[in-house]
Structure 1
Amino acid sequence: MLKLLSRHFKVCAEGYFTLIAIALMVMMPTFSLVPDGEHLKLIQSRDFITVHTRNTPTTYYEGRHGPTGFEYELMRGFADYLGVSLNLDAGHHLDSVLPAVREKGDLGAAALPLEPTTPGVYFTRAIIGLQPLFVYRRGLHGIEAPADMAALEIGTLSGTGTDKVLRELQQQHPLLSWKESTELEVADLLARVESGALDGAVIFDHQFRLNRLFFPNVERGFLLGEPLSMAWAVPRGRGLGLLKAANNYLGDMQQSGVLDRLVERYFGHDDYLEYVGTRTFLSHLDSRLPRFDALFREAARQTGFDWKLLAAMGYQESHWDPEATSPTGVRGLMMLTLPTAAEMGVSDRVDPVQSIDGGARYLRSIMDRLPESITGEDRLFMAMASYNVGLGHLYDARRIVEIRSGDPDSWLDVREALPLLQKQQWHSQTRHGYARGGEPVIYVRNIRRYYEMLEYVERSRQQFFQLEQTELDADAVFPLFDLVPPID
């Protein structure tokens, strides 16, 4: 691990230059090397805009239902605003985005901190605030203020703005030191804190909220410094038309409330996957499941699944709420996307009959597409994981298993590999890139737990029916449910 750290980090304890504080304003030049608007006209004439970005959860990645990410949504909207197609170059680290914009690109959108003095580029208006946050490994004590950081092994990412905050903080606390990386991403950094290779890290608050589910041993510490700003970058010397268009578009997004809704969708919640209390499950079992019991049983007959498995998936997806809508726009009891619904012939996603039938057939179609070498429960669990994260990312995880000399047909091995898709070291070697690979692991585990509960309930009810007990008190009949452990 020390060799790995030495490869990725450079120590920044002293010998830094003091940065001059400048107001965060987008400076407009008095002249440019090409007529105003010519660059924009070139983009529109060739019918596409090239955007340099990064494969990260806050920028762009292949999600459960195709390309997604906070900045990806904005990039796609901007391309539509210009009336052109979107051409992404997502193979960048943070330190290569701006050189690419200066040399050959149209736009840089990669969680870039707004720095007006950066040579060769202009920045757009601020998109969102970036609040630096110190996080540390759970179990460390006495960490209550920035002064306590001096005794710790800390990491951060170069060029994100958090390194600048640390340099400013070092003015007040000369003993403070840290390590920087230009190649890692936030998930890699948090993984090092989780493992003990680092004591803490400085990242942004929204990044922690997006990743905290996967790193339970990383604790929120305290905010550092004043918020920075995220912005896009365009090249200097090619006219101001593209910059003006980007600023107008972002202004419209802010004024209409679309930007606020995107922020809420991506960063306003820790995660849509949750551990649901047993009593809540039992309450929903009595109040909601009877409405859909027959539908799950019919879908099971048509697809060959156990109806309780389909019911468990439905609970994990929507808590058996036929009108549920996720932060990413999937809808219905089985949370189908529009493309999946169209593929399955579902015309109304909030119709529980269509949703349950479509979800069951979609799961069956995934299972049928898996390699024949995957058998038994391994095949079922991998199909369930693919329902959540997509087949492409499952195949990427199987490839990682092969690289690690494991068995790609074993769910146990694939389960260990899926979270590695969050780490740049691994997802850079895959076809589909970054994925929130911890999600399908939790997804499958939760469904297995709910399935076991449904099995227990059904067995218990059958026993009581045999004893001619017709009125059951859930709290009295099922007192051990709170002791059912998650299934690993």
Structure 2
Amino acid sequence: MPAFATASPRRLWRGAVLLCSALLLALLPHHGGAPKEPHLQDVLDRDFLSVHTRNTPTTYYEGRQGPTGFEYELVRRFANYLEVSLTLDADHNIQGVLEAVREEGDLGAAALPLDPTLDGLMFSRPIMLLQPLLVYRRGLHPPEGIEELEGLEIGTLLGSGTDRVLRELQAEHPWLSWKESDELEVADLLGQVTRGTLDAAVVFEHQFRLNRLFFPEVEDGFSLGKPLSLAWAFPAGRGLGLVSAANRFLDDLRRDDELDALVASYFGHDDYLEYVGARIFIAQARERLPRYTELFREAARNTRFDWKLLAALGYQESHWEPRATSPTGVRGLMMLTNATAGDLGVDNRLDPAQSIHGGARYLRSIEERLPESITGEDRLFMTMASYNVGLGHLYDARKITEMRGGDPDLWRDVRESLPLLQEREWHSKTRYGYARGGEPVIYVRNIRRYYEILAYLDRSQEQFHELNARLPDQAERELFEQIPPVL
């Protein structure tokens, strides 16, 4: 580790950063005058990094635990690397991000494709690959190649890089035509494909992977063109110091495998809920959830849970069926046992209000009995697992986790131990014995996905019935510019 990394004063560290930048520039050809690093120096002097981004699921948004998103997490770590604070401006589309970086910002982090031809900008080294993907509305004949796109209404985002790929393909296929807009985001495109305003759209594969559960009427078709590179944009003409610092930061993340882990954590999951499951969930949310939404909201206010989390748990338990009954006698919308209902003062488990309020209170009582050493989302996930398998079995899984050298306070370690409760070698060493330990792992995973769908729709203020509407809106059509064939 460099000597300056162990020094405590911030100025010593910053001085070393500037020294490294100066040495780098000393090796570059000079065009008169001494090389300077005004941009990096400015960031360090004012003690904050100004980042321009977009409010999208793949870049930055407000999640359950506060700001989140792949690029937010990257720039947050970069600000920590520079030992400065972070300011974000997410009120942009793609073109707005680029203009803001040229005029006032330190960097743009907004799913930007590396494009060295853009005036007034420099780019970091590549962060991840961006593979353009053709997606289409379920029910259409599945297109298998570019030749089958003729006659389809295709949309994409102006400046995203996918439009550049389409222009390159048009040089080989002059008949190719599409629409592009700088006023929409990926979710808007997928929504228009769902509603029938568009037949298909060209987005990046990772964007579709993250959004596909929210748009189960949209199918993935085939890859288009060669992958592009995601990179950060910096203003040109202000020195190379900040760009060089960003490249060193990214190199460190890649060398330590942290960058790959971050990509996997945000974009690696895909099929926890298959299309059919997501379609059924959205359909039942449209038909059933409105009857119980206010009950979930009231129970959430009383127990300090997110109402969407309670609704997701209720769906996992009963599909929001108030008269649901299991073969073991568990009943009601929140599927309470007779004993638990008695402890909670619930005298009619089939009454939706009593069941929802009782289930929320039971969930809170479990959470309050967990050790204080379990915190954050780990605490929430273990609470949900206990609702399914019982608190005693969760404690047994925590014991097995310790025996295997894991951390019993981390859900990622405990979820690896829960399925072992099905094996005699392990459950014979526990207090409560055998349990179908694989079920709570799936249980928590599904609730998280149901919650994500509800949170996404709530965040974007979309109504469930709009996801299945089919009548195109003229106003939506006017957001696009038609790119004609070049015959």
Aligned-pair Cα RMSD in Å: 4.7
1:226 to 2:252 alignment = no
5+ residue gaps, structure 1 = 1-27, 287-291, 318-322, 337-347, 356-383, 402-412, 421-488
Give the match's secondary structure for 1:133: strand
What are the residue-to-residue correspondences of 1:288-303 with 2, within 5 Å?
300=344
1:333 to 2:382 alignment = yes
CA gap of 1:180–1:349, structure 2 versus 1, over 3 A, is farther
| CA displacement 1:237-289 (0-9 Å, x = unmatched) | 1111100000000111111111111111110012666759999x989999xxx
Partner of residue 132, structure 2: 132
| CA displacement 1:419-440 (0-9 Å, x = unmatched) | 99xxxxxxxxxxxxxxxxxxxx
Q: Does the Cα contact within 8 Å between 2:131 and 2:205 map onto a contact in 1?
A: yes
What are the residue-to-residue correspondences of 1:67-466 with 2, within 5 Å?
67-141=67-141, 143-270=143-270, 275=277, 300=344, 306-308=357-359, 332-334=381-383, 350=409, 388=451
Alpha-carbon distance in 2 for matches of 1:33, 1:284: 83
Alpha-carbon distance in 1 for matches of 2:339, 2:49: 47
Alpha-carbon distance in 1 for matches of 2:221, 2:454: 37
- How much does 1:87 deviate? 0.4
AA in 2 matched with 1:253: L
CA gap of 1:128–1:88, structure 2 versus 1, over 3 A, is same
Alpha-carbon distance in 1 for matches of 2:167, 2:47: 43
Q: Does the Cα contact within 8 Å between 1:39 and 1:241 map onto a contact in 2?
A: yes
Q: Does the Cα contact within 8 Å between 1:158 and 1:181 map onto a contact in 2?
A: yes
- How much does 1:142 deviate? 5.2
Alpha-carbon distance in 2 for matches of 1:305, 1:388: 16
Q: Does the Cα contact within 8 Å between 2:50 and 2:105 map onto a contact in 1?
A: yes
AA in 1 matched with 2:383: M
Of stretches 142-151 and 62-71 in structure 1, the one that deviates more from structure 2 is: 142-151
Give the match's secondary structure for 1:180: strand
Q: Does the Cα contact within 8 Å between 2:132 and 2:205 map onto a contact in 1?
A: yes
Q: Does the Cα contact within 8 Å between 2:363 and 2:384 map onto a contact in 1?
A: no
**Count of residues in Structure 1 that have an aligned counterpart in Structure 2:** 324
Give the match's secondary structure for 1:332: helix
- How much does 1:334 deviate? 3.0
Alpha-carbon distance in 2 for matches of 1:176, 1:211: 26
| CA displacement 1:440-481 (0-9 Å, x = unmatched) | xxxxxxxxxxxxxxxxxxxxxxxxxxxxxxxxxxxxxxxxxx
Give the match's secondary structure for 1:259: helix
Q: Does the Cα contact within 8 Å between 1:65 and 1:390 map onto a contact in 2?
A: no
CA gap of 1:305–1:135, structure 2 versus 1, over 3 A, is closer
Q: Does the Cα contact within 8 Å between 1:34 and 1:239 map onto a contact in 2?
A: no
Alpha-carbon distance in 2 for matches of 1:138, 1:111: 27
Give the TM-score normalised by structure 1. Answer: 0.56
Give the match's secondary structure for 1:113: coil
AA in 1 matched with 2:207: Q
- How much does 1:216 deviate? 1.2
Alpha-carbon distance in 1 for matches of 2:133, 2:454: 35
5+ residue gaps, structure 2 = 1-27, 278-314, 319-324, 331-335, 347-353, 368-372, 386-406, 415-446, 470-487
Alpha-carbon distance in 2 for matches of 1:58, 1:152: 27
Q: Does the Cα contact within 8 Å between 2:122 and 2:233 map onto a contact in 1?
A: yes
Alpha-carbon distance in 2 for matches of 1:112, 1:95: 10
Give the match's secondary structure for 1:111: coil
Q: Does the Cα contact within 8 Å between 1:106 and 1:234 map onto a contact in 2?
A: yes
- How much does 1:217 deviate? 1.2
CA gap of 1:109–1:142, structure 2 versus 1, over 3 A, is closer
AA in 1 matched with 2:45: S
- How much does 1:149 deviate? 0.7
Give the match's secondary structure for 1:92: coil
CA gap of 1:98–1:351, structure 2 versus 1, over 3 A, is closer
Identity percentage of aligned residues: 53
